[in-house]
Amino acid sequence: MFKVWGKLIRENEIKKAFDVENDTEQSFEEKRNNAFEEICYHFDLSVPVWLDKHSKDFVSFRRATFYPEDFVEEFNYDRMEFDLVKWDDKI
């Protein structure tokens, strides 16, 4: 089981949240990328730039945080958090 939680935060308050589960036989990166795109689609956002820093944070801390400068289009929140809630296999 692979489950992630996306949150849009403004002034330290969660304004929108959405979670995605995936039970397919995909690799960790494929599951992460598909879930990330699905969350952005649900929030009607352009997909922000995913940098090495985001990958390292996601693996180390189970969270990647995106700020307005990570988005190409206008982003009306302070940040978007992408949290790994459940992962049954090793990363």
Q: Which residues pair with 13 in a beta bridge?
A: 10
Can you list the residues of the chain whose pLDDT is less than 50?
91
pLDDT, one tens digit per residue, over 48-72 is: 999 999 999 999 999 999 999 999 9
pLDDT at res. 89: 66
* Residue (of 86, 91, 90, 89) closest to 2 by Cα position: 86
